[in-house]
Amino acid sequence: MVGKPESEKFHRALVLQGGGALGAYEAGVLKEWCSREELINRAKRHLAQKTVHARSALYLTEAFLGTDLPMELQHKMGEKKRELLSNKEPGLISELSTSDMELLEESKLYAELKDYKKSMNTLEKIKDKEAVYYQVGYVYDVGYNDFKKAEEYYMKAIENGSISASINLVCLYLEHTVNIEKALELSRDSYKRSNHIRSRLILALTLIWNNAIEEVVVEHLREIFMADDMNNEYMKSIEQILMLLIAKKQYYLTLNYFNDIDLGLKVRFKPIYYALMYFMKDEYPNEYRKMGGELKETVEEIIQQIKEMAKDFD
């Protein structure tokens, strides 16, 4: 008698085991017997099945959810089986595991609430580790202020193609004023690949840091200053650009931008304009005196920040 094809035996073994931690045995078998490519193909075939016994579907889905399937595929599988169970056996829905994508969203929510311990604990439950390198780096960066760990995980995410990780790592280097050449390399690459305004802002800052003033003037600054839809993050980045230009003693260049009526920088960034006038008070003594008393404290704080930037970014 001819035996069943090995693939069918395999499928039945996975379905019939059950017991204990739901799908844990089956997940172990899948990981031991299948390459990742084969695992993905099997998962896609399982996802495409139209008629399947509800409990069998639950066990096999749990087995797949216990592996490091790509996050999106894993999530689709969980959602489809949740729909199947809701129609056939609603009582089984509670036994369906949380997908990696759901865990990632939960981790992001904890991070937004600044509960970084819970955020990291949730990330540790995710099977597809490569998919969350960026978020792990972010929690180490923003939550724990751990430069080494943040850099390590951002670099892993960058190797997987994450533009956000590139931008955040450049920001980390800017904050610590280290790895100037690497920061420029990463910022050029992220802008080349995304052409996004955030990438452009970070590239502009990095170019000024590297004293590539001609390049930043010719290719970026006017377009950045002319942008219409400026949110708070955008405005803060422009403030940093203007202050870094002043810190780099690019006084006349910065003044030309402030005097350009089409850009409207004097109105939008008045305290920084008066901070510039402080550094140019020999040439424009009366202009600095025009500053109103209500701006005095803010302008003095900006002047101090610019002096510190001059030392840090020298």
Cα–Cα dist 70/57, whole Å? 19
Predicted local confidence at residue 104, as pLDDT = 86
Cβ–Cβ < 8 Å for 259, 291: no
Tell me the per-residue pLDDT of 32-59, one tens digit each, with 9 for 90 and over: 666 767 777 876 776 666 655 555 665 5
Q: Token pair of 12, please?
A: 């039945």
Q: What pTM does this model have?
A: 0.73
Predicted local confidence at residue 171, as pLDDT = 94
Predicted local confidence at residue 260, as pLDDT = 96
Residue 206 has a CB neighbour count (10 Å cut-off) of 26
Cα–Cα dist 249/244, whole Å? 9
Predicted local confidence at residue 16, as pLDDT = 31
Task: List alpha helices for the chain, DSSP H.
Answer: 6-17, 24-33, 36-48, 54-65, 71-88, 100-112, 116-123, 133-138, 147-159, 163-176, 180-194, 197-209, 213-216, 222-226, 232-247, 251-259, 265-268, 270-279, 285-289, 296-312
Residue 135 has a CB neighbour count (10 Å cut-off) of 22
Over pLDDT 90: what percentage of the chain? 55
pLDDT per residue rounded down to tens, the chain (314 residues): 444 343 333 333 333 333 334 444 445 555 566 676 777 787 677 666 665 555 566 556 666 666 666 767 766 766 665 665 566 656 555 555 677 778 888 898 899 999 999 999 999 988 888 889 999 999 999 999 999 999 999 999 999 999 999 999 999 999 999 999 999 999 999 999 987 888 999 999 999 999 999 999 999 999 999 887 667 788 999 999 999 999 999 999 999 999 999 999 999 999 999 999 999 999 998 888 888 888 999 999 999 999 999 999 98
Q: Token pair of 241, please?
A: 């650009």
Cα–Cα dist 182/185, whole Å? 5
Cα–Cα dist 310/275, whole Å? 14
Q: Token pair of 212, please?
A: 């590539």
Predicted local confidence at residue 134, as pLDDT = 93
Predicted local confidence at residue 50, as pLDDT = 63
Q: Token pair of 288, please?
A: 């600095």
Predicted local confidence at residue 61, as pLDDT = 66
Predicted local confidence at residue 12, as pLDDT = 31
